[in-house]
Amino acid sequence: MAEDQNVSRRDFVKTAGAVTAAAAALPALQGAPGIQTVKAANDQVQYGLIGTGGRGTYLLKHLKGIDSGRCVALCDINEEHLKHGVDTILTNPKTFKDYRELLAMKDVDAVFITVPLFVHFPITKDALESGKHVFCEKCLVFKPEEVHALRALKAQHPKQTLQTGLQRRYSYFYQTVKQMVDKGILGDVHHIRAQWHRNLINEPSTAWSMKPGGDKNIDNWRIFRSMSGGYTAELMSHQSDISDWMFGSQPEFVMGLGTIDTLKDGRDVYDNINVIAQYPKGQKFTYTSISTNQFLPFFNGQRAQMGEIIMGTEGTVEITVGFDAPVLPIAWWYREPPKKAAEVTKAGEKPKPFVAGATMVTGGGANGPIPIMTSDTQFTGKEGFLDREVKFARRWLMAKGIMLQEEQKNPVDSELEGFFESCRTGKRPLADMETGLADSVSVILTNMAMDQGRKVYFNEMDKLGVAQTAATPAKKG
């Protein structure tokens, strides 16, 4: 009979302790959402937001609940989008069609830049030169020359915060998993596999389908290379950033296959991409984004579309950031079979068959999934009998895959609060400029690898775009 592969109650307490120890090293970003206390107006960071489209309005929805900042201005070239932004934030902001007028406002301390990728750099540049703190959505920059130019420009504005919208960096679960990787709880991590799959055949999303007009107008920016980096920029960038973070460096080289197979509506970005990147110690990141199927084979198939698997010699973590409540981040941990001692045999003696090993592999991992605990399921030692039993029951159901353990706070709220804190204190953002530039470099080089059908080395970036940067030196602030 196969050994029982389930997690026992005793196992639980033991293994949860390891993760609790890893999580204890994290800054106190996580906590149950409390009642907002309104601060004095002069404590608030006064901000403007440029680009009140899909993401801009989504951020405004979250910003509305954060009292450390106050929206005083909005800008969009599209009247309807601008109105939507005003109706979302409800703080009676000044409105502009030209972002330079917003930047000229003296009482704007900080700006959110949520415009299409191809205009991230010019607007970020003008904002830094106007003395503003900047939160610019991913990908931070679009072209190779902008990587060098932004680094040089930021050096001239050291006191201004520059943060990018890689919200996974602000997730308690991702931070816990990073600690697990660094502390060796997963053993040696050799592979990270990630996917973001969508079914645009059955459910065409407006953002990814050609809109009426059918030309390269700005409403269709995501599907044209002149304005967008395609799936590589819009989807993979979040997950290649996780890979860089977990492995602690950028890849050495990347290769890939990008094709337009099904969405033949005039777009020139790929509708599916298959990517492999190799890191300096030989670790691999393997990635796919496709348009014809959205099934996610993680978490017992209870989620769709996107996630990452971080695979070490001692264990594996499945993790995803989700979208928004009620599909917040989740993470499960599976342990590998325990290490076997090498069997020493005397000369002429037959090696003994290893019986347990054969049965261990039948269940997949050596144990069932162990959820990464949030504070509401951790034992304090102070809870009463009933509370304690409820926590045991919740953990047990999570381990069986019956209940999903979700992060209590949306990392988007944490990234926005973190931005205002950085503006006020000068604290380095978790998703800072170098994180954003490394992420942009991955996108640029991955697209180049697919376009040119070759292995592209990351050190090629040292020379790419340098001539153009030298030709347009940054203005002094």
Ligand X SMILES: NC(=O)c1ccc[n+]([C@@H]2O[C@H](COP(=O)([O-])OP(=O)(O)OC[C@H]3O[C@@H](n4cnc5c(N)ncnc54)[C@H](O)[C@@H]3O)[C@@H](O)[C@H]2O)c1
Residues in touch with ligand X (CB under 6 A): 50-56, 75-78, 81, 99, 114-117, 119, 137-138, 165, 167, 207, 218, 234
HEC letters along 92-104: CCEEECCHHHHHC
Q: In terms of CB distance, is 54 or 297 closer to ligand X?
A: 54
Closest residue to ligand X, based on beta-carbon distance: 53
Side by side, which strands form the sheet with 162-164? Answer: 94-96, 69-75, 45-50, 110-113, 133-136, 162-164
Phi first, then psi: give them for residue 136, nearest 5 degrees: -115, 130
Contacts of 240 (CB under 8 A, 6+ apart): 194, 277, 285, 287, 439, 442, 443, 446
Task: Provide the token pair at 103.
Answer: 């930047």
Q: At what angle do helices 54-63 and 79-89 cross, to 10 degrees?
A: 10
Q: Is 247 exposed, middle or buried (0-12, 13-18, 19+ CB in 10 A)?
A: buried
Q: In terms of CB distance, is 118 or 333 closer to ligand X?
A: 118
**Helix/strand/coil percent split, the chain, to 5:** 40, 15, 45
One-character DSSP codes across 156-190: T-TTS-EEE--GGGG-HHHHHHHHHHHTTTT-SEE
Closest CB 119 distance from ligand X, rounded Å: 5
d(CA 259, CA 264): 11
Do the beta carbons of residue 160 and residue 109 sit within 8 Å?
Answer: no
Q: In terms of CB distance, is 23 or 75 closer to ligand X?
A: 75
d(CA 228, CA 210): 14
Residue for token digits 């389930």?
A: 6
One-character DSSP codes across 71-118: EEEEE-SSHHHHHHHHHHH-S--EEESSHHHHHT-TT--EEEE-S-GG
DSSP label at 124? H
Closest CB 314 distance from ligand X, rounded Å: 31
Expressed in angstroms, the distance from the first to the final Cα of the chain is 73
Closest CB 145 distance from ligand X, rounded Å: 18
Q: In terms of CB distance, is 316 or 414 closer to ligand X?
A: 414
Task: Provide the token pair at 35.
Answer: 């009642």
Task: Provide the token pair at 58.
Answer: 């989504």
Do the beta carbons of residue 255 and residue 458 sit within 8 Å?
Answer: no
Closest CB 83 distance from ligand X, rounded Å: 11
Q: Is the peptide bond before 75 cis (omega within 30 degrees of 0)?
A: no
Q: In terms of CB distance, is 53 or 307 closer to ligand X?
A: 53
Residue 241's SS3 state is helix
